[in-house]
Structure 1
Amino acid sequence: MSNQELITTFYTCFQKKDYQGMQECYADEAVFNDEAFKNLDSNEVKAMWEMLCKTGKELKLTFGNISETNGGATAEWTASYLFSRTGKMVVNNVHARFEIENGKIIGHTDTFDFYVWAKQAFGFTGLLLGWTPYFKNKVQTTAMESLANFMNKK
């Protein structure tokens, strides 16, 4: 399977909320990072996708612009969903970078404009505070606590 086919499989599974299919795309030593989740190991990233697929409300996902790179791939994807903490709709445009070895993802980094996301997810509070390191750290701490709680319940 080419890197492009692997990433297409990954996002097709995400569209279907098939977290098990997504999990199978990762190597045992995978690492994941984005604006909310930092330095997740393979078990944590697999649990994160399961949590997001199971709890995501009104999730719609599109993806494209998948390009093979030396040792990996890049992609663009957009998620539209109801942010559960506030009940607000969010449209998040994400750039993904993948490191791939032996047909599995070993490194996955998603980047997006945190301030744009925060304004949508938190409304006026996000508008006022979403640009601050304090607010971003608070979101990261809450995200990691949610993931730990989800993993402990399994």
Structure 2
Amino acid sequence: MYRNIVLAGLAIISIVNQPAMAAPITYGCDTPADRFSAIEQQVSLSSFSIKGAIQPNEFRKGKYSPLAQIFLDSADQKYRWAMKVIALDSKAKDAFVFLEMTENGKESDPFLIGSVKIGAKLSFNISVTEGKIIKFRIGEMDGNPELNLGSQATLNIICSTGDFV
């Protein structure tokens, strides 16, 4: 029995001494019409990465279009990189996927990169190094824009007027 206690203690010590890694989460972002839900977290951009999938399940009728988005905001909020999944209305069978950037407070026009059907998953992988080199893969689309986000940013994951996972 003593041997089992020692082994359990060693296992706990080895787990505690491992580098910290973010645990995967499932964010069921299910909101009524014209409401939103969000996760916001401060992140270091010396070496940052996030990957996952967005799955639209239902679009609701409201004043605002059904939307899911992931974006990084610079500390001074003058720079932003965003991926948006937006449906035209509640009866849509798919949503459009756009990229947007804000540079020195000036928003770029949205850049359409594709679409995703209700119930389908759109995979993504986004990383930032040195606070400015963004590398992404969204579905089958790759890109490497540069945007001076700085060393710290706010990561936001938001949905509105629909059910998204």
TM-score (norm 1): 0.25
More helix by share: 1
Q: Which has the larger radius of gyration?
A: 2
More strand by share: 2
